[in-house]
Amino acid sequence: MEPTQQRQDSIIKVAVASFIGTAIEWYDFFLYGTAAALVFNRLFFPSLDPLAGTMAAFGTFAVGFVARPLGGVVFGHYGDKLGRKAMLSATLMLMGLATFAVGLLPTYDTLGIWAPALLVLLRLVQGFGLGGEWGGAVLMAVEHAPPNRRGFYGSWPQMGAPAGMLLATAVFSVFSRLSEAQFLAWGWRIPFLLSSVLIGMGVFIRLRVAESPVFQHRKPEAEAPRIPVLDALRTYPKQILLAMGARFAENGFFYIITTFVLSYGTERLGLPRSTFLNGVLIAMSVHLVAIPAFGAASDRFGRRPVYLAGAVGCGLMAFPFFWLIDTKETGLIWLAICLGIVAHAAMYGPQASFFSELFGTRVRYSGASLGYQLASVFAGGLSPVVATALLARSGGQAWPVSLYMVVLAVITLVSVWLSAETFREELTEAPASASSGEGALSEPSSRSPSPVPPR
């Protein structure tokens, strides 16, 4: 087999493995979000009124995001020292065990206050595992990819998010057809217990891929520092902050249109949960196609233009999204969710390559994970809680939530505008955008960019 063909086979194998493993991890994580929106308020917080119970359930959902930066730091530390591959099976196992345990957890009626306490603990474990997962998965894909295709192949693990949500929503939708009593008694548990089968498949697949060539071929003098996360904070502080800002619209908007909308539609508008679960299913199918399309577009036009277009789209959709939802027309509800998800994909598609290219090889796992996961605490983790609180204070009016979405979009627009363009950068020990210690806000490097091979 020719070397070129071998390299092509290798990146396809890695991309598929990253996609499948990440899809399983996101299945576990999103399954919790769906249950938090639909059943956890009644099963674990029955003593609270419906709105307070929903906020409490979304509060446990947010806890998982708090643990994600810690997972990014710990797994990033060992990923920069020992390699990307070694961390991926560990994070997958951790997520799977926590998700399976949620399916076995007694409810408030059985354990009292210990039930929500254990739920929070398991959610912390989920968040910890997912915090380490993202960095390893995207670096395996991006660092294996040809220089002119990093955006496209980097989008494959990103596709795991809609695939995982598609699977989680589909499975949950099947069991939600049970009677209310059956669903609350045992039906909601089955999707969590099914995770054990998926985890075994994912670990098997991930053990069969090769380590990142960029990590293997790093210079001897560029070995990872003693504490990579501290070195990343010292060397790339502005890149980390700008990566965080770039995630606000992407992360916050996503959980409003896929998680908060479930409770808004069922409790505020009185519509059947199947209307929104089916809408999310359709949107995730669109997402699966849109993510690699925008990833490929970023290889041609650059990461920043594509990402900025997505942030603008999110801001423009903030008010029309709820106008369409409030019509209570099924087709318009589905249209709102799909339009929102396309705008999200314009950011999510190029995100893996964009963030990876901001950091040098020796601390890339730690730096990219830190910027990505810290933002999730303040954006995605809090957005359903903030949206629910705004809805309560406004007497059920959605316009404050729309304003909140606009604020998220503005933060992302400013952050991406101030970031350096990276799509022509080589994956070296110190990317040109970080030269002279000035980070992403420095003047462009005077060296000529490496040419992008013709497609």
Tell me whether residue 163 is in a domain.
yes
User: Using CA atoms, how far apart are residues 330 and 272, in angstroms rounded to an integer?
Assistant: 10
The pLDDT assigned to 422 comes to 85
The confidence band for 222, taking pLDDT boundaries of 50, 70 and 90, is low
Tell me whether residue 216 is in a domain.
no
CATH number, residue 90: 1.20.1250.20
- Residue 117's SS3 state is helix
The pLDDT assigned to 2 comes to 47
Residue-wise pLDDT tens digits, 282-334: 998 999 999 999 999 999 999 999 999 999 999 999 999 999 999 999 999 99
369 or 427, which is more confident: 369
Tell me whether residue 141 is in a domain.
yes
413 or 30, which is more confident: 413
The pLDDT assigned to 6 comes to 46
Average pLDDT, the chain: 82
- Residue 244's SS3 state is helix
Tell me whether residue 306 is in a domain.
yes
Averaged pLDDT for residues 363-374: 86
Tell me whether residue 449 is in a domain.
no
Tell me whether residue 212 is in a domain.
no
Q: Is the dihedral of CA 135, 80, 299, 235 positive or negative?
A: positive
Q: What percent of the chain is predicted at pLDDT more than 90?
A: 28
The pLDDT assigned to 453 comes to 38
Averaged pLDDT for residues 415-444: 65
Q: Is the dihedral of CA 326, 342, 35, 61 positive or negative?
A: negative
Residue-wise pLDDT tens digits, 258-289: 888 888 888 888 888 788 888 988 998 999 99
The confidence band for 452, taking pLDDT boundaries of 50, 70 and 90, is very low
Total tally of structural domains belonging to the chain: 1
Residue 8 has pLDDT above 70, yes or no: no
The pLDDT assigned to 217 comes to 64
> By residue range, what is the domain housing residue 157?
7-203+225-441
Tell me whether residue 93 is in a domain.
yes
Q: Which residue has the tokens 């041609």?
A: 300
Tell me whether residue 386 is in a domain.
yes
The torsion angle over the Cα atoms of residues 409, 412, 414 and 416, rounded to 10 degrees, is: -140
Yes or no: say if 353 and 426 are a contact pair by the CB < 8 Å rule.
no
- Two tokens at 387? 């949206």
Cβ partners under 8 Å of residue 251, min gap 6 = 375, 376, 379, 380, 383
Residue-wise pLDDT tens digits, 72-126: 888 887 877 777 777 877 887 888 888 899 899 998 888 888 988 888 888 888 8
The confidence band for 409, taking pLDDT boundaries of 50, 70 and 90, is very high
Residue-wise pLDDT tens digits, 54-69: 777 777 777 777 788 8
What pTM, to 2 d.p., does this model score? 0.79
The pLDDT assigned to 447 comes to 37
